[in-house]
């Protein structure tokens, strides 16, 4: 697949944009900041075009690794907003999410109190649908470390969520 | 409801994907192309398989030490390379470090970071007996697995190159812990970071370079 005209990475970004936006929407407040982070992720992807993997699934992982690093740098970054970003921010603000049940909120609270290295693994697996190995790659840890952390996180969650979580 | 279902359902709602928003996202992908300084039309000469830097611990501020990089040939024939070993201050909200922060002063923690990095800079990686380090790691791993109550969720035992890299990291970290605690400094306030080269293949298995 040729990247010579930029079409390849453009297709990747367009195809993955809504997933990337959701990745940020679930993690930042105010939610509209997700638009800025998506913008930064796309910019970095273009700048690293020479390192995009050939394999389709590897390309998606490559993009989410960039997104994760953008998220880590979020608080340090300064942003300039284009008109388009401002428009996307407005759309994220207008479409208020439907309030979900108290049980989901309670579970979310417990998840968000996990140590951050466990928390982010749980979020990638259960909110974003990645496997443990894929999550390890995005977080920059080896797979065994991720498996160990995930097992620890589940043990903590079972303790806190108690009877609602029978073994399966 | 199972734990998996509870966790899946805890996913926060996202904004509605309207046609207008989807159009704007596609437009953004094009706009960022123009905004980036990367010239189009430059294609990489080769694409190697993705070489990952396996980072053990969190953070990215690793500093190359005096005796690094250190490489060795594993029993499976891989050539493993530890490229850096350093220490940063742990996040006080991380489990395991909260007590260390409560029972130490800022000056003690800063001294621990400084001393740990000094120690790692002079650490003789070549002096590590790899089979001995592997045996030590296996004992630690077995104890950790035995303490995990749910059989189906127990961590798998490490094998191959991943086992040796982890065993080396564990040996260095254990030596560092002994040294720091002997000085009366708070080891648990530290976040050691070890980096090694290797590849996580499509099968999810970590391998050092060939």
- Is A130 in the same domain as A82? no
pLDDT band at B45, cuts 50/70/90? very low
Q: What is the pLDDT of residue B80?
A: 86
Let me know whether A57 and A122 are in one domain: no
B138-170 pLDDT, tens per residue? 998 888 778 766 665 566 778 888 888 889 988
Q: What are the structural domain ranges in chain B? A: 3-35, 52-207
Q: A90 pLDDT exceeds 90? A: no
Q: Read off the CATH number of the domain in which A127 is found.
A: 1.10.10.10
Instruction: Classify the phi-psi angles of B59: left when phi > 0, otherwise alpha if psi is within -120 to 50, otherwise beta.
Output: left
Q: Express each pLDDT in A7-19 by its tens digit.
A: 578 888 988 899 9
Shared domain for A16 and A2, answered yes or no, is yes
B58: nearest Cα among A120, A91, A64: A120
pLDDT at residue B38 in the model: 37
What number of other Cβ atoms are within 10 A of residue B122's Cβ? 9
CA of B176: how far to CAs of B69, B71, B170, B181, B190, in Å? 18, 20, 10, 9, 11
Whether residue A115 has pLDDT greater than 50: yes
> Do A56 and A1 sit in the same domain of this protein?
yes
Residue B184: is its pLDDT beyond 70? yes
Residue B13's pLDDT is what? 81
Q: Are residues A43 and A81 in the same domain?
A: yes
Q: In this structure, are A114 and A53 located in the same domain? A: no
| DSSP H or E run through A128 | none
Residue B27 has its nearest CB partner, among A84, A103, A164, at A84
**Tally of structural domains, chain A:** 2
% of chain B at pLDDT higher than 90? 20
Per the model's pLDDT, the better-predicted residue between A145 and B151 turns out to be: A145
A87 and A13: one domain?
yes
- Of A51-60, A132-141, B1-10, the range with the lowest mean pLDDT is A51-60
- The last residue of a domain, from among A46, A72, A97: A97
A91·B26 Cβ contact <8 A:
no
ipTM of predicted assembly, 2 dp: 0.77
User: What is the rounded average pLDDT of the residues B34-56?
Assistant: 34
A80 and A133 inside one domain: no
Residue-wise over A78-110: b if at least 16 C-beta within 10 A, else e? eeeeeebbebbbebbeebeeeeeeeebeebbeb
CA distance B92 to chain A (A): 10
Is the pLDDT at B26 greater than 70? The verdict is yes
The answer to whether residues A113 and A92 belong to one domain is no
Residue A30: cis peptide before it, omega within 30 degrees of 0 = yes
Least confident stretch, A54-58, B63-67, B103-107, B197-201: B63-67
Q: Which of A64, A80, A97 is the last residue in one of the domains?
A: A97
Please, which residues bridge with residue B88 across strands? B191
Distance from CA of B187 to the nearest CA of A (A): 18
Which residue among A49, A78, A97 closes a domain?
A: A97
Q: Is the CB of residue B76 less than 8 Å from the CB of residue B161?
A: yes
A window 62-91, beta carbon within 8 A of B: 62, 82, 84-85, 87-88, 91
- How much is the mean pLDDT over chain A? 80
Highest mean pLDDT among A45-49, A85-89, A120-124, B76-80: A120-124
Taking one residue from A and the other from B, the number of pairs with CB-CB distance under 8 angstroms is 195
Give the domain CATH number at A60: 1.10.1740
> A104 and A93, same structural domain?
no
Which one-letter DSSP state was computed for residue A76? G
Tell me what pLDDT residue B81 has: 84
What per-residue string of b and e applies to B80-90 under the rule 16 or more CB within 10 Å gives b? bbbbbbbbbbb
Average of per-residue pLDDT values in chain B:
75
Residue B16, pLDDT score: 82
Rounded distance between C-alpha atoms, residue A168 and residue A165, angstroms: 9
Check whether residue A44 and residue A105 sit in a common domain. no
Is the per-residue pLDDT at A2 higher than 80?
A: no
Looking at residue A123, its pLDDT comes to: 94
* Residues of the domain holding A133: 100-168
Can you read off the two tokens belonging to residue B143? 């104890």
Return the closest-CA partner of residue B73 out of B193, B163, B161.
B161
pLDDT category, B97, cuts 50, 70, 90?
A: low
Q: How many other C-beta atoms can be found within 10 angstroms of the C-beta atom of residue B37?
A: 7
* HEC secondary structure over chain B: CCHHHHHHHCCCCCCCCCHHHHHHHHHHHHHHHHHCCCCCCCCCCCCCCCCEEEEECCCCCCCCCCCCCEEEECCCCCEEEEEEEEEEECCCCCCCCHHHHHCCCHHHHHHHHHHHHHHHHCCCHHHCCHHHHHHHHHHHHHHHHHCCCCHHHCCCCCCHHHHHHHHHHHHHHHHHHHHHHHCCCCHHHEEEEEEEEEEECCCCCEECEC
Q: Which residue of A has its CA nearest to B199?
A: A142
- Indicate whether A110 and A93 sit together in one domain: no
């Amino acid at each position: 697949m040729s990247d010579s005209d930029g079409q390849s990475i453009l297709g990747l970004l367009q195809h993955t944009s809504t997933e990337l936006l959701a990745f940020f929407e679930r993690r930042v407040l105010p939610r509209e900041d997700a638009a800025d982070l998506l913008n930064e992720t796309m910019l970095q992807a273009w700048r690293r075009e020479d390192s995009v993997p050939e394999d389709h699934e590897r390309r998606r992982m490559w993009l989410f690794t960039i997104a994760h690093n953008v998220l880590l740098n979020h608080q340090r970054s300064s942003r300039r907003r284009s008109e388009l970003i401002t428009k996307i921010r407005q759309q994220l603000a207008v479409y208020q999410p439907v309030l979900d049940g108290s049980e989901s909120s309670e579970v979310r609270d417990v998840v968000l109190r996990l140590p951050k290295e466990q928390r982010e693994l749980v979020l990638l697996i259960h909110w974003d649908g990645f496997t443990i190995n894929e999550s390890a790659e995005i977080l920059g840890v080896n797979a065994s470390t991720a498996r160990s952390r995930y097992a620890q996180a589940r043990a903590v969650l079972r303790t806190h969520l108690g009877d609602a979580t029978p073994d399966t | 409801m199972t734990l998996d279902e509870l966790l899946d359902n805890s996913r926060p709602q996202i904004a509605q994907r309207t046609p207008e928003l989807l159009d704007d996202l596609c437009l953004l992908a094009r706009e960022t192309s123009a905004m980036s300084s990367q010239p189009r039309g430059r294609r990489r000469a080769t694409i190697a398989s993705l070489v990952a830097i396996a980072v053990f611990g969190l953070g990215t501020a690793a500093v190359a030490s005096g005796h690094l990089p250190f490489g060795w040939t594993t029993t499976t024939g891989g050539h493993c390379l530890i490229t850096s070993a350093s220490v940063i201050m742990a996040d006080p909200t991380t489990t395991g470090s909260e007590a260390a922060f409560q029972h130490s002063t800022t000056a003690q923690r800063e001294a621990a970071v400084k001393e740990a990095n000094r120690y790692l800079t002079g650490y003789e990686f070549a002096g590590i007996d790899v089979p001995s380090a592997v045996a030590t790691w296996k004992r630690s791993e077995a104890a950790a697995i035995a303490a995990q109550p749910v059989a189906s969720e127990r961590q798998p035992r490490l094998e191959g190159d991943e086992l040796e890299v982890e065993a080396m990291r564990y040996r260095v970290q254990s030596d560092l812990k002994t040294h720091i605690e002997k000085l009366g400094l708070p080891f648990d306030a530290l976040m050691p970071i070890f980096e090694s080269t290797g590849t996580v293949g499509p099968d999810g298995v970590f391998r050092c370079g060939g």
